[in-house]
A and B are shown apart, each in its own frame.
Chain A
Amino acid sequence: MEFTREIYWNVGHGWTTLAPMYVLLLAALAVFVLGCLQRIKVYRLGQPLDRTDQRGERIKTLLGNVLLQTKVFRVPGAGTAHALFFWCFFTLFIGTSLIVAQADFTDLLFGVKFLKGTFYKFFSLILDLTGLVAIIMLGGLLVRRYLLRPEGLITKRDDALMHGLLLTILVTGFAIEGARMAVTELGTPLAAWSPVGLVVAKMLNGLGEAGLRALHLGLWWFHLLLALVFIAIIPFTKFRHILTTSANSFLADRGPTGKLTTINLEDESIEKFGASVLSDLRWKDIFDADACTLCKRCQDRCPAFATGKPLSPMQVISQIGETAFTNPAANLVDLVGREVIWACTTCLACQDICPASIEHVSKIIEMRRNLVLMEGEFPGEEVMTAMEQTEVNGNPLGMGYASRGDWAETLGIKTLAEDSAVDILYFVGCYASFDKRNIAVAKSFIKLCQAAGVKVGILGKEEKCCGEPMRKMGNEYLYQSLAMETVEIIKGYGIQKIVTTCPHCFNTLAKDYRDFDFPVEVQPHTVFLEQLISAGTLQINAEAFSCTYHDSCYLGRHNNLYEAPRNLIHTAGGNLTEMAKNRDQAFCCSAGGGRIMAEETIGERINVKRVRMAVETGAAQLLSNCPFCLTMFEDGVKGADVEAQLRPKDIAEILAERL
């Protein structure tokens, strides 16, 4: 006997079935298309933006994130269940498509059947099992959402609708299969190739053939109707993420990671800066809101949210979406709220984990730009003062600019103005220039360079703030004036290589300054020192010590540099105990996004919370690679009252102690 099954068994062949079926399908598709067009119209309220370059790479990302569920999989549990459900659902979709292809095309038009023989056996088995796994995964997600109710998970009408509809489609699918099998397959060897169907068939068998046929026919049309309803409501419900979240993988920002758009300040036709209403944002920013599934991964990782600030990255995205579709003329800044806008540390934890490739940070910065550039508003007077100090003295600390190089006076290094024939320019940064604690780091770095025979130059009083905190706080104008000055000075000396001890300086010089034609190689000190050690030019005498290591956001998530600092710690003899939140999951120190200039007035202190995480490791030292982090941790160990047991240090200091 041929292994196959009669498609449209009991439903009826020919136009009596096909005509109403296809009319319904067309209706569903029409609703679907209209719904999509409606939403596209709203996306178009945003500013233009080209996200169709590097198509090959974009398609690769799309396939990876959709078919392999790469990003979804990063969070086990719900992520695993979603990925498995997706694969099953996708397989069932392909299976159904094959049935349609044979029944309504190849067989109908050419008399060709391919769902038969061994292929059919495996076809039947696979669809049967994927259906079962899909039901189990959906059930698991249902239990999570409605019974376990993880904190912060927002459940709306859409969620009930989606769970209900999908579950009913899957269950009715098995019921239809069982009814059919009870009549046609029970007792045949083919039945074993649909194990789940077989169980259902045995359960239904008591109904008798007439009952089974009536049940089958009714459920068949009901199942079809539900499937069509599913298609039709995609654009109107969270089901739309099937399209938008997938598309967003293609449309994602392709980097450099976290780099902001540079406003053309020469263009005198621009009269408005930043975003205060929806139409100031780009279309992708509105699209992002539609791609969001409220999975709350961003919120779970946001250091501001975790410490009681009013910011939830997810909420910001939702509010933008809500505004777009209900009240596009509303003032976005008022709606989102100033305290929310100022709370972001630009740590990028939200963006990094987002399975929907949403760009949270740039939206917040756009709103900050509006507040600063159009309204002259800041989170507090201290920030305005820091901005003014930077305008006058080139540093937010308000120290006299002429004393910027004083820390190096006795170290035997020269400024480029004195001698520009150097191996590297050490771009010191404001904190290592003026802040006593961080001057110690700068001195350690110089000591290491001198031990390795590297000739270092600094800019001294010619150096100014790189502009990073100002830029992240929204002051694009001040950032650009600082950037252009710095670019001109460094280029004037014909420098080939720059090393920084501050990842904010590094990130800014290496990424942001590219927009000002600045092709000089820039390295963070950890990477530079690791190279010196592996080249054998720098000798470190390992001496055992216990420590934990904090990944700064701007070396870590912003630049994906996780191993070089760890290698250095290992070289120094460090016994490294990782904090639970490390590498791409690291918890910000609180000072990014220009927050180093601002008082933290709402909620728990982020730095203290991070210090407590470090204390949990039992390590004696908290190592980092960033002057902002170090400043925050020096403050944090006092706040957490653990000064005696935990010593914050920069990796350079640990190395310099072991020369």
Chain B
Amino acid sequence: MNILICIKQVPDMESKFKINNEGSWYDRADLAWRMNEYDEYAVEQAVRLKEQVGDADLTVLCIGPDQVKETMKKALAMGCDRGVHVADNDAYQREPIEIASMIADFAKTKNFDIIFTGMQSQDRGSAQVGVMVAELLGIPAITTIVGFAFENGAVQVKRELEGGGKALVNTTTPVLLTCQLGLNTPRYPTLPNIMKAKKKELLTIAPDLSGLGARQETTAFYFPERKGGGIVLEGELPELAEKLIHLLKEKTGVLA
């Protein structure tokens, strides 16, 4: 089997986000980076599939600047066989169809049986790339899967629907699947696999940017204004009472 897993490097969501100079996106300084959570489910499912069928080749693909290779190494350590890094320093500002086109451009000649992607990225969250790749390749796409089974070329997935409902969907390969939380628990790479990953093929290719053009523009990026919120009072009991009285006097009219 020939399997492609598309992953994205995203900032850790606990990071201190600042807005970039253009005001169009977050600033990249002082951020910690990791693999997009949903892509981890994609990688894990692909590795499990390989463990099940034995004969499978897993290619992990990531678009972005050089630093995304760090995240790709984790996918390789988890069990992907080879990595394809599509070098693009502007990836962060591209719209979903541009990203999808780059992936489809790479995938079109490779005859992948299954393509796994995350259902969306944690930072941009458009949830469009996977579906668009499928469309560009002319293969079916099944989104937000939380269960996966493969037998004799037949794929059965469980989808998560709004309101908690589930749906079982059958299809055959080739297919593109976007993975949702609950699909699996991604493994922690073992040390021998981390070592092996260092020696795995990690190709960097230049994207074919012809025919790609932005049709959207992010004109502003901002954090919601802080509105109210709770206050937790701390301290010894008498002190707490003092604080509370003070607050009630200052902010409310209940003691007036």
Contacts of B169 in A (CB 8 A): none
CA distance A374 to B187 in the complex (A): 12
The 8 A CB mask of B163-194 against A (1 = contact, 0 = none) is 00000000000000000000001011111101
CA distance A393 to B30 in the complex (A): 11
Contacts of B31 in A (CB 8 A): 402
Q: Are A393 and B190 within 8 A (Cβ)?
A: no
CA distance A306 to B195 in the complex (A): 40
Contacts of A392 in B (CB 8 A): 12, 32-34
Interface residues of A in 528-558 (CB under 8 A from B): none
CA distance A167 to B12 in the complex (A): 70
CA distance A374 to B185 in the complex (A): 17
Q: How far is the CB of B31 from chain A (nearest CB, A)?
A: 7
Contacts of A400 in B (CB 8 A): 12, 14-16, 32
Q: Are A403 and B188 within 8 A (Cβ)?
A: no
Describe B's contact surface by its main secondary structure. loop
Contacts of A273 in B (CB 8 A): 191-192
Contacts of B189 in A (CB 8 A): 376
CA distance A523 to B31 in the complex (A): 32
Contacts of A268 in B (CB 8 A): 195
Contacts of B188 in A (CB 8 A): 372, 376-378, 384, 387-388
Given A388-B188, A399-B14: A477 touches B30 (CB 8 Å cut-off): no
CA distance A272 to B185 in the complex (A): 25
A381 interfacial by beta-carbon distance below 8 Å: yes
A461 interfacial by beta-carbon distance below 8 Å: yes
- Residue of A with least CB distance to B193: A376
Q: Are A393 and B14 within 8 A (Cβ)?
A: yes
CA distance A376 to B185 in the complex (A): 12
Q: Which of B12, B14, B34, B190 contacts A373 (CB 8 A)?
A: B190
Q: How far is the CB of B123 from chain A (nearest CB, A)?
A: 14
Q: Are A374 and B191 within 8 A (Cβ)?
A: yes
A271 interfacial by beta-carbon distance below 8 Å: yes
CA distance A377 to B190 in the complex (A): 9
- Residue of B with least CB distance to A273: B191
The 8 A CB mask of A240-274 against B (1 = contact, 0 = none) is 00000000000000000000000001001001110
The 8 A CB mask of B1-43 against A (1 = contact, 0 = none) is 0000000000010111000000000000011111000000000
CA distance A384 to B78 in the complex (A): 14
Q: Are A398 and B14 within 8 A (Cβ)?
A: yes
Q: How far is the CB of B227 from chain A (nearest CB, A)?
A: 23
A409 interfacial by beta-carbon distance below 8 Å: no
CA distance A402 to B190 in the complex (A): 28
A401 interfacial by beta-carbon distance below 8 Å: yes
Contacts of A373 in B (CB 8 A): 190-192
A375 interfacial by beta-carbon distance below 8 Å: yes
Q: Which of A372, A376, A387, A402 contacts B15 (CB 8 A)?
A: A402
Contacts of B192 in A (CB 8 A): 271-273, 373-374
Interface residues of B in 79-127 (CB under 8 A from A): none
CA distance A398 to B189 in the complex (A): 19
Contacts of A401 in B (CB 8 A): 15, 30, 32
Contacts of A388 in B (CB 8 A): 34, 188
Q: How far is the CB of B190 from chain A (nearest CB, A)?
A: 5
CA distance A272 to B190 in the complex (A): 11
Contacts of A271 in B (CB 8 A): 192
Interface residues of A in 609-650 (CB under 8 A from B): none
Q: Which of A377, A398, A461, A477 contacts B191 (CB 8 A)?
A: A477
The 8 A CB mask of B192-224 against A (1 = contact, 0 = none) is 101100000000000000000000000000000
- Residue of B with least CB distance to A374: B190
Q: How far is the CB of A475 from chain B (nearest CB, A)?
A: 9
Contacts of B30 in A (CB 8 A): 401-402, 461
CA distance A271 to B196 in the complex (A): 10
- Residue of A with least CB distance to B29: A402
Q: Are B16 and A402 within 8 A (Cβ)?
A: yes
CA distance A270 to B248 in the complex (A): 66
Interface residues of A in 386-410 (CB under 8 A from B): 387-388, 392-394, 398-403
Contacts of A265 in B (CB 8 A): 191
Interface residues of A in 355-384 (CB under 8 A from B): 372-378, 381, 384
Contacts of A272 in B (CB 8 A): 192
The 8 A CB mask of A298-314 against B (1 = contact, 0 = none) is 00000000000000000
Q: Are A403 and B194 within 8 A (Cβ)?
A: no
The 8 A CB mask of A438-482 against B (1 = contact, 0 = none) is 000000000000000000000001000000000000001100000
Contacts of A384 in B (CB 8 A): 188
Query: Among the interface residues B15, B189, B191, B192, which one has the most CB atoms of the partner chain A within 10 A?
Result: B191
CA distance A387 to B189 in the complex (A): 11
Contacts of B195 in A (CB 8 A): 268
Q: Are B34 and A477 within 8 A (Cβ)?
A: no
Q: How far is the CB of A569 from chain B (nearest CB, A)?
A: 22
CA distance A503 to B188 in the complex (A): 28
Q: Are B190 and A375 within 8 A (Cβ)?
A: yes
CA distance A403 to B15 in the complex (A): 8
CA distance A378 to B31 in the complex (A): 27
- Residue of B with least CB distance to A373: B191
CA distance A400 to B34 in the complex (A): 12
- Residue of A with least CB distance to B40: A388
- Residue of B with least CB distance to A437: B234
CA distance A388 to B32 in the complex (A): 12
Q: Which of A372, A378, A403 contacts B16 (CB 8 A)?
A: A403
Q: How far is the CB of A60 from chain B (nearest CB, A)?
A: 40
CA distance A398 to B188 in the complex (A): 17
A-B contact pairs, 30 of them (CB 8 A): A265-B191, A268-B195, A271-B192, A272-B192, A372-B188, A373-B191, A374-B190, A374-B191, A374-B192, A376-B187, A376-B189, A378-B188, A381-B185, A384-B188, A387-B188, A388-B188, A392-B32, A392-B33, A393-B32, A398-B12, A398-B14, A400-B15, A400-B32, A401-B30, A401-B32, A402-B15, A461-B30, A476-B191, A477-B191, A477-B194
What 14 new A-B contacts, CB under 8 Å, besides A388-B188, A392-B33, A477-B191?
A: A273-B191, A273-B192, A374-B190, A375-B190, A376-B189, A392-B32, A398-B14, A400-B12, A401-B30, A402-B31, A402-B32, A403-B16, A461-B30, A476-B191
Closest 8 A/B residue pairs (Cβ)? A402-B30, A376-B188, A373-B191, A400-B15, A400-B14, A392-B34, A392-B32, A393-B32
